[in-house]
Structure 1
């Protein structure tokens, strides 16, 4: 078992000396056993069920995503171990969103048509296309979620409308449109696109499939959030020892966004590990700090900045209230990073070094590592988070080069070139460095 740090330090206070600190502690985070044992059992079984539903979708790879070990970078950071769960390998869609959107679409269809007795796995196989042609789904997106929903809708046979705000690149728009989605453009930022998607749905009788919850809209965001528990389930399987005993890493650094990913991942880890769950740090762009502000105000809150970041998937102005309910009691710390920190992390992952395999990570995908690197280079943060030479840290690379031209500009090398170097070095890694487990179990 990884050794937990014994360092105890006072939490950084919000607004000390008139400045916003780079991180704050969540005094409401709980270390008690998961509060509802029956819900815990039901949700773990539900996650396994959903893995089976997705096991035959042609746009999803049918093995667990790699869990890379980066020993050289870990040594540089002064920690015992660093592992990267690489969601860029999840699907040709190149992001973790390939889990949430299709699961939410399946569950929405099952709720809308209970009398049809649809077989869940057969929905994404296109078996019910004639029945679903009249169904229209819509969402707002910064890119990855919309692309995943468009792909799932195309596979299922329903119509899909995607609302994009002004800052979404043409490259991301084209990637979504390639799956047959109809594109609507709006002025403003992500929050403006969320409002427009809700308006269009109400006007036309369409159905919103969004990971952002709001008053009266929680079922679908809840489905998406819980779907991300598949990532946690895979991680636990991949780090168990041969006797089946789970290894507990000490820390996990997770991207923020509206909160759906960290809420889904942390909720599952809490269900599984109980009070022994790892210390969690939520990482956001400084100018899109809605979860940081939520921790400060103890309610789902708005970001304090301009919500414009190269970490496009994290450029969210308002926290999801549903996700915040989970994070309020399961996330230990909230921190912000600069765009330059994300770029540095992207380049670090792409370079590889010695034993460390090169990894393709977009700006949002590299945010967790960016937070870890900032913390390890800042002694007060390092002490605050309890990071030391005994720490076993996990980060999740949530996306690959989903905008290839932007990736090449920021990294100075194409994603394809990095993957070629990854392939050439991969044979030198131990099998445990990139476990591949079936998506579904009998």
Structure 2
């Protein structure tokens, strides 16, 4: 095993000379449209640390955007994927199948919410999973309209760009987009006009009213929502909102899809974020944390909905690649063995206590939110007006990067700092990262 020492170390400027050299090569060879949060080139990573080519070790509060929840080189993932590499890399499940794919689908049936009969189909990426969930819902309901929510993010393919609510950088210049996609309000408590306590029921009533008036419930194939909105700013829909939307979907024969691509697999302290209010989705999409860093995604759902598609209607050359399936079984083994739901809850406890203390000192922190190891702070110019302060988020991220802490920004207004540490991070590194954030606030 490639054991990376679990300590922060800054030995050069960040990025250092070797990273800068590689960045020059990258600019010559890689398309300009592909961005990077921080152009330090990784040499190895594991636990809560990313080590770059210059020998700097950064504390990782990003997990490759919620992917390496079990760490970037988890023993069980490496062991199982390596063994599979020895046997075969690919046959295509649609040509000659293999057990790993079946095992992953069995694990998903066991772990996802609800005790109904479930089936799964495996794909390569989160966007592909969402796109296939729409195909399945349309096939099952014989309807076409798809309802999504303000601040939602669902991917970068043509259909999932249409589903995504944020123009820059995801949609700008890439249209026309897929038709029959409708957007309604979400229960964003911090920014709800009548206050967070009224937000859940009021937002649900507004959303349902718009669907009924503008689309007609009988025309809706699917309602798709992230139980904790990721790219939109780690928005937890106010209590009562999701149950009301689910009830409306159930009453009207609409397929309710939980997009758990960022929030799933122990990230929020539960296997899936929708469990928090007892939501049982008809379909659930997963990716990111599912396979310890290998590309894999899934749609899991009620057997009768999943089976409504004609034979050959779902698939893809690499979908459920055998090495990725082995990685997923290793990741799930690690999550169970190390009780990563418990670890995520502990991370939330530590982070929220520290961030709340910072908020008292720095009124620029307008809101602290999220669950488990999916925590964010929204930055505002004035707590009274709540005017978004994107420049502060950018400056803070930059200050943290210079000190050897990798943090990410997000939010519809670009004013949210999001924290997604690997669930296996040591508490000493977690606190050291929070010290760096606090010092950055004090300086800026």
- Shorter-chain TM-score above 0.5: no
- Could you state the TM-score of these two structures normalised by the residue count of structure 2? 0.32
More helix by percentage: 1
- Which structure has the bigger radius of gyration? 2
More strand by percentage: 2
- Could you state the TM-score of these two structures normalised by the residue count of structure 1? 0.32
